[in-house]
């Protein structure tokens, strides 16, 4: 029974992936975003520390930057997990990203 259910889920996922128009947000993009966010979420901590150090100095970076980094990391991990689990369904509408700024970790970075 489990094998049949698993097979049906795979077939449904493949149908949903192939049914989306080309070059648009779709299940594949959503799955990629989710996996990317789940892999790179720990890097939010040093990134937020660095940003806080640049804008407000080392004292703020060692306190507020660390706390903000942990908060952003937990949020990115949660969104990544949600998008990975629900990649086959258009939630939110039309597979739009939940995180808009940035959609991927370090997407708007100068690196």
Query: Per-domain residue ranges for the chain?
Result: 26-111
CB neighbourhood size of 47 (10 A): 19
Walking along the chain (111 residues) 10 residues at a time, the average pLDDT comes out as: 76 62 72 91 94 94 95 94 92 83 67 43
Q: How much is the pLDDT for 17?
A: 60
Q: How much is the pLDDT for 65?
A: 95
Would you say the C-alpha torsion 51, 54, 56, 62 has a positive or negative sign? positive
Copy the structure tokens of residue 84: 């990975």
Q: How much is the pLDDT for 96?
A: 85
pLDDT tens digits, residue range 35-65? 999 999 999 999 999 999 999 999 999 999 9
Comparing C-alpha atoms, which of 85, 62, 66 is closest to residue 74? 66
**DSSP line for 13-38:** HHHHHHTSPTTS--HHHHHHHHHHHH
Q: What is the pTM of this model?
A: 0.69
Q: How much is the pLDDT for 3?
A: 78
């Amino acid at each position: 029974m489990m094998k049949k259910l698993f097979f049906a889920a795979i077939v449904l996922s493949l149908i949903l992936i192939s049914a989306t128009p080309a070059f648009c947000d779709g299940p594949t993009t959503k799955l990629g975003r989710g996996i990317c966010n789940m892999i790179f979420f720990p890097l939010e901590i040093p990134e937020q520390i660095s940003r806080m150090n640049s804008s407000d100095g080392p004292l703020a970076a060692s306190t507020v930057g660390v706390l903000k980094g942990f908060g952003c990391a937990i949020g990115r991990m949660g969104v990544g997990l949600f998008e990975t689990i629900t990649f086959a369904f258009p939630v939110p509408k039309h597979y739009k990203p939940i995180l808009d700024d940035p959609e991927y970790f370090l997407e708007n970075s100068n690196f």
